[in-house]
Amino acid sequence: MEQGSLLIIASSLVIGLVAGVVMHRASFCVTASFRDLFLFRDFFLMRQMILLVVVSMALFEAGRLAGLVTIHPFPLLSAPSLANLAGGFVFGIGMVLAGGCVVGSLYKMGAGSFASGLAFAGMLAGSAAYAEIHPQWSAFAKSTVLVKDAITLPQWLGVQPVALLLPLALLGGLWLTREFRAGRMDRPAFAAGHLAPWRAAVILAVLGFASYVLIGMPMGITTSYAKLGAGIESLFAPEHVAAVAYFSLQPLDYTPPFSDQAIRGGPGPQWDAIAAIQYPLILGIVGGAMASALRLGEWRLQWQLPRRQLLSVLVGGVLLGLAARMAPSCNVWHLWGGVPILALQSLLFLAGLLPGTWVGTRLLVRFVVR
């Protein structure tokens, strides 16, 4: 294996392990940060999410100006369309019903949650099922492109990224300073080995930056959910998987930093650049959370679950898998990666995610938790 690939695999694994431990210790849940806005009018976790975005924005742009970040905007982003908005909406419903997003479910599964394991299985099924509707969905995405030839807001407005990102990061920094001083960024916690969510937000922003510098893009995992789903499907229906057009796409095609060779990858079941980048990250997050829970003596498999919740996490998982391909990509990719560089796709995803989360909470209190 050439050195560039080894660097990618090793960095992804280490970033995943640290992220897994940090998210478990801080109970760092993106789903809760959005859901609790609507369900309990609780802004505590959303403040942590804003902190993560502001620190990432400052780091990404400082890194770009210093020449550490060499690919801007990062690969796999494209022109914004209504598909991003619709994907975000469905994603919002799915993450509330599943009790966690595509990354949150990974660390909860690592810590022994059967419900999150079931949600994960649903995500693989939903991601693979998307392949069947891809021709229609990509036609919809193409016909609803909102802005041609611009990936980020600064590109669309024709200004240098720093002209927008610096004032925004400064404003965010000022607001966060006020929140810290007012004592609204921290609250009493009684869990063993607890890590304050604001510390977790800063560490996760640094991990995203490390990923951007070393691999050429921030953290993302959901193309490999389709890949894993396709792998499982090909055990039963290999000819069908080989014939479905979506599984032969290679949307990732770039030359990573610290390498002079272009690498390619896509959602098909084969080992490629997507697998090299995302599989170690997934393994790392699950493994890091598992190690953290074992060390605290808190790891145990919990099977007892009301039937309504079993159904909810399964349906939520399938919706998440579908939405992550429709959007395309997940909340972590868009919120922790795309929003900090003001990628138009990511801003649309966020605009869809908010009403989707609201619908999800309505469904949850009406049908699931009673």
Instruction: Name the residues that contact other proteins, by CB under 8 A.
Output: 24, 27, 29, 31-32, 35-36, 39-40, 42, 44, 98-100, 112-115, 187-192, 194, 296-300, 302-306, 309, 312-313, 364-365, 369
Shorter beta-carbon distance to other proteins: residue 148 or 370: 370
Nearer to other proteins, 234 or 312 (CB): 312
Nearer to other proteins among residue 313 and residue 324 (C-beta) = 313
Residue 31: how many CA atoms within 13 Å on its side-chain side?
28
Nearer to other proteins by Cβ, of 316 and 338: the residue is 316
At closest approach, how far in Å is the CB of 20 from other proteins? 14
> What Å distances lie between residue 298 and 9, 20, 32, 108, 224, CA to CA?
29, 15, 21, 12, 29
Question: Measured from the CB of residue 100, what is the shortest distance to other proteins in angstroms?
Answer: 7
Cβ 336 vs Cβ 53: under 8 Å: yes
Q: Are 361 and 35 in contact (CB under 8 A)?
A: yes
- Smallest gap from residue 313 Cβ to other proteins (A): 6
Q: What are 169's two structure tokens?
A: 């990061």
What is the tally of helices (H) and strands (E) in the chain?
15, 2
Comparison of 13 and 203: residue with beta carbon closer to other proteins: 203
Q: Which DSSP letter does residue 339 get? A: G
Least distance in angstroms from the C-beta of 302 to other proteins? 3
- For other proteins, the closer of residues 148 and 187 by Cβ is 187
Closer to other proteins at the Cβ: 33 or 223?
Answer: 33
CA angle 156, 157, 162 (to 5 degrees): 105
* Of 19, 47, 37, nearest in space to 92 by CA: 37
Q: CA–CA separation, 173 vs 179, rounded Å?
A: 10
* Minimum CB distance to other proteins smaller for 162 or for 305: 305
**15 exposed, middle or buried (CB, 10 Å; 0-12, 13-18, 19+)?**
buried
CB of 187 to other proteins, least distance (A): 6
Instruction: Report the alpha-carbon distance of residue 344 to residue 177 in Å, rounded.
Output: 27
d(C-alpha 7, C-alpha 10), whole Å: 5
Type of residue at 238:
P
> Inter-axis angle of helices 44-65 and 30-39, to 10 degrees?
140
Measured from the CB of residue 32, what is the shortest distance to other proteins in angstroms?
6
Q: Locate tokens 């000022």: which residue?
A: 174
- To other proteins, the closest distance from the beta carbon of 353 in angstroms equals 17
Q: Please, what is the minimum distance in Å from the beta carbon of residue 5 to other proteins?
A: 36
Q: Which helix (H) or strand (E) covers residue 265, if one does?
A: strand 263-265
